[in-house]
Structure 1
């Protein structure tokens, strides 16, 4: 009798655990989509030759691009001409603090290597960042640090020796907030 009750309770606990695990898998979208995209560990073999990889990606990134401006750009420009410009934006340390507060702590950082966790903790930086953001806004140009990132090549499938079988993922600095 006691053994049967223990087995019943054990079974109920196990079922509850399985249900919780399934619910967690559904709520953790990042893990769910990664498991759907790459059900097996991909890229377990040797990597591509560095010279071949550089040659392949340089061929894609170094070629000049010739964009054709269609007539639609003139239509959009004429439609936007009637829009009244917005008032000047003033970025305050409180704005930076609020943006940092909402940011994920451990997102993969770019060249700066700075995680949001540290920006949250070092509040003295908020005033400096607000001033630098304001300067960038006033000058209408971004520092190259904002647009330069670290590119990781993630294998698309099991063929890891072919440079064309990699997906480039670039991590920009997390300071973008």
Structure 2
């Protein structure tokens, strides 16, 4: 191809690699269709007898173009002397091996531990991979034992497609749909709370009379940048004010965590309501808490409720009941309601 291009365009200096890159870009970007490429080839290669060598090289140009396109879409590295058929067979064999490994792995993995598959772009390469794997699934589907095995085969095929095209797979399980990792903002706030609590503990120790060098050094660091000195007479009051300030900061940070957590929960519930309402309602259900002791028998239950409803009780009514009775004396009583059976 490079020799033919040099004969057609002797004034243009181009390397073999640069020419192959140009051809690869034209073929992959679909700049020209098949008819336009054929017309350009006929115009570029004259049909006179003087350029018979150029006409003989034209089929070689088309063959080399096909080989370049096959090399672009083939993940297997083959020798330059091999033709496109060998490269295609090696590619199909590697895809078949990847498919078999994915199906075996999926069959031995529970549904909760399967990775979440990403959404793939509808590119020509991805469609070509799917079209190549579809005929390979026939053998597995015909030997499927039940619906669960069919599901494992189909999921394994989708997993194989993701691995062939190099898509990123999530390591999190499919059960929760959310990562269980603690957010970075919460980790930072909790670290502040832990440091503040440790500082409060050392300030209290110093206020109680503990003058160890480590405690004294911490107290001096707590009052760094202020005009407070440990030898001044109102140091105990300053310690109390500093401790109260730290406690208020801890309370504010705790409220911030609760506020952020509630907002995140509302956001996830609203998003889940749009996508899967059944799953949302199931997550809102509270577990039924039952007693661990033995259930009461019928005689005990009857005796308990009989003591409440059947035995007369003399209530000690105070003077307020007479006031309420005098206020309600002017209220007209409601007519009695008689419920009869409809015939």
User: Normalising by the residue count of structure 1, what TM-score does the alignment of the two structures yield?
Assistant: 0.27
Task: Report 1 or 2 for greater relative contact order, CA contacts < 8 Å, sequence distance ≥ 6.
Answer: 1
| Structure having the larger proportion of residues in helix | 2
**Greater Rg over alpha carbons, structure:** 2
